[in-house]
Amino acid sequence: MPNAQDLLFKTLADPTRRTIFERLCREGELTVGGLTAQAGVSQPAVSKHLGVLKQAGLVQDRQEGRQTHYSARPGALSPLLDWTRQMAGFWENRFDDLEDLLKRMDQ
């Protein structure tokens, strides 16, 4: 299974991080301060979450003066949304290998 998907799952498994990402998706560009106001966690914690989200490609940042503006990159989610299709492919291949094995096995 691809690492990109693994990273996305891990990144979004944290509810605070997911909430931050969702707010950026809904509200567009926000600063750390703007995000902290409703996050229920400290500003350093929000910054840390944003760093993790950025590493996963889920957010991008833009410097404007002394402020950093963050926005969502929802397109980065596509490997996750492909989960069902990918698992179906995984199991189809396993079925092929199972049939090969059954041919080799004794009755």
Partner 1 sequence: MTETSTQTRSVVVEREIAHAPEKIWRALTQPHLMAEWLMKTNFEPTAGQRFDFTADWGSVACQVLAIEPHTTLSYKWDAMGLESVVTWTLTPSAKGTHLRMEQAGFRPDQQQAYQGAQYGWPKFFDGMEQLLARVD
Binding site for partner 1 (CB under 8 A): 1, 3, 5-6, 9-10, 12-15, 18-19, 22, 25, 74-75, 77-78, 80-81, 83-85, 87-88, 91-92, 94-95, 97-102, 105, 107
Where does residue 59 rank: exposed (0-12), middle (13-18), buried (19+ CB within 10 A)?
buried
Q: Which of 10/67 has CB closer to partner 1?
A: 10
For residues 103 and 107, give the distance between their C-alpha atoms in angstroms, rounded to a whole number: 9
Side by side, the strands of the sheet bearing 59-64 are 30-31, 67-72, 59-64
CB of 105 to partner 1, least distance (A): 6
Helix-helix angle 43-55:32-39, to 10 degrees: 110
Least Å distance between CB 64 and partner 1?
A: 23
Between residues 37 and 87, which has the closer beta carbon with respect to partner 1? Answer: 87
Specify the amino acid at residue 41: V
- Return the number of the residue (15 or 65) whose C-beta is nearest partner 1: 15
Among candidate residues 40, 50, 43, 61, the one with its CA nearest the CA of residue 17: 50
**Minimum distance, C-beta of residue 62 to partner 1, in the bound complex (Å):** 18
Nearer of residues 67 and 91 to partner 1, judged by Cβ: 91
